[in-house]
């Protein structure tokens, strides 16, 4: 009798557990957001360092789509991203003004460097940015441009203009427009022994330098700030507001800022947090 009772109890428990499993809500899919960002943040290794820290804290997965800044903002305008992290302040301000984001936050900065062959045939070593670009145009020195509407490309175009160079009429075979990200553009410059404007972060992470070296740096015009924005859900209902805002908030939090500051290559810091610097927004 005891054996029969035990068997019936086992069957009953099995049925109850099975029913509970059938009626229990399915476990939620892991939270995930899409961040449209620049090739500099991706190819420098920064995201590879930051995202596991963020995931450990929040459980939110981040898929990074690395594009030039202009393309990243276009992706966000189409609703193909929840967050954008880019580095072209005029374009970012326009993005907010157009209603695609409600606010922009400073996150970090680094700087641009003008890189070229050690022999420096255009003789730009140590001069200011405007003089350097004027000399490059006058010498028709081989120059590689990203040509991809990135923040770096925008900074390069501004530099030609500030140097008084009409690039439309001055460009020729010496000017190579590759339409690619920072890493591939640096590879092309290395292969050609050409000059190129690069962000310092990607340059420090770049291994295939060949005969290239930094020739111009430290000019205030080379300052390179990065901003982060949550895409406006009023424009695209698909935006994951809670998760996206959590990522923005973490980046500008003391923990996120400390994580950015702690990312180094060869002991050299690549990005400098500035979310809480006076006058930032």
154 and 256 both lie in a single domain: no
Range of 174's domain?
111-222
Tens-digit pLDDT profile for residues 74-130: 999 999 999 999 999 999 999 999 999 999 999 999 999 999 999 999 999 999 999
196 and 99 both lie in a single domain: no
Domain assignment present for 212: yes
Q: Reduced to 3 states, what is the DSSP secondary structure of residue 28?
A: coil
188 and 115 both lie in a single domain: yes
- CATH of residue 92: 3.40.190.10
User: Where a domain ends, among 181, 203, 222?
Assistant: 222
102 and 235 both lie in a single domain: yes
Domain assignment present for 139: yes
Q: What is the CA radius of gyration of the chain?
A: 25
User: pLDDT per position in the chain (281 positions), as tens?
Assistant: 434 443 433 334 333 334 333 333 444 455 899 999 998 898 899 999 999 999 999 999 999 999 999 999 999 999 999 999 999 999 999 999 999 999 999 999 999 999 999 999 999 999 999 999 999 999 999 999 999 989 999 999 999 999 999 999 999 999 999 999 999 999 999 999 999 999 999 999 899 999 999 999 999 999 999 999 999 999 999 999 999 999 999 999 999 999 999 999 999 999 999 998 765 55
Query: Following DSSP, what letter does each residue of 205-242 receive, concatenated?
Result: H----TTEEEEE---GGGEEEEEEEEB-TTT-TT--HH
76 and 137 both lie in a single domain: no
pLDDT for the residue numbered 276: 82
Domain assignment present for 15: no
pLDDT for the residue numbered 28: 46
Domain assignment present for 209: yes
152 and 135 both lie in a single domain: yes
208 and 131 both lie in a single domain: yes
79 and 156 both lie in a single domain: no
pLDDT for the residue numbered 278: 61
Domain assignment present for 170: yes
37 and 105 both lie in a single domain: yes
pLDDT for the residue numbered 10: 38
Domain assignment present for 22: no
72 and 147 both lie in a single domain: no
What's the CA angle centered on 181, arms 227 and 202, to 5 degrees? 65
212 and 148 both lie in a single domain: yes
Q: Are strands 105-117 and 212-216 parallel, antiparallel or unpaired?
A: antiparallel
Give the number of domains in the chain: 2
pLDDT for the residue numbered 16: 33
Domain assignment present for 115: yes
pLDDT for the residue numbered 31: 83
User: Where a domain ends, among 222, 238, 264?
Assistant: 222
235 and 152 both lie in a single domain: no
Domain assignment present for 202: yes
């Amino acid at each position: 009798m005891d054996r029969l009772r035990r068997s019936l109890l086992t069957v009953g428990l099995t049925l109850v557990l099975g029913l509970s499993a059938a009626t229990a809500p399915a476990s939620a899919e892991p939270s995930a957001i899409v961040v449209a960002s620049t090739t500099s943040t991706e190819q420098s290794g920064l995201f590879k360092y930051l995202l596991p820290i963020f995931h450990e804290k929040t459980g939110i997965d981040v898929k990074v789509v690395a594009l030039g800044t202009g393309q990243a903002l276009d992706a966000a305008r189409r609703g193909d991203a929840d967050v954008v992290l880019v580095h072209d302040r005029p374009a970012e301000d326009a993005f907010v003004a157009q209603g695609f984001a409600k606010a922009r936050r400073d996150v970090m900065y680094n700087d641009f460097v003008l890189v070229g062959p050690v022999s420096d045939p255009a003789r730009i070593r140590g001069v200011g940015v405007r003089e350097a670009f004027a000399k490059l145009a006058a010498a028709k020195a081989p120059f590689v441009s990203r040509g991809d509407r990135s923040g770096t490309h925008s900074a390069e175009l501004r530099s030609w203009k500030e140097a008084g160079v009409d690039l439309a009429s001055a460009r020729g075979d010496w000017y190579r427009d590759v339409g690619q990200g920072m890493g591939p553009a640096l590879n092309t410059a290395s292969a050609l022994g050409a000059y190129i404007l690069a962000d310092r972060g990607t340059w420090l992470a770049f291994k295939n330098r060949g005969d290239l070296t930094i020739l111009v740096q430290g000019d205030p015009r080379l300052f390179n700030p990065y901003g982060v924005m949550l895409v406006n859900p009023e424009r695209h209902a698909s935006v994951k507001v809670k998760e996206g805002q959590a990522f923005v908030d973490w980046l500008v939090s003391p923990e996120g800022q400390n994580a950015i500051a702690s990312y180094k290559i060869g002991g050299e810091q690549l990005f400098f947090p500035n979310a809480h610097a006076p006058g930032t927004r």
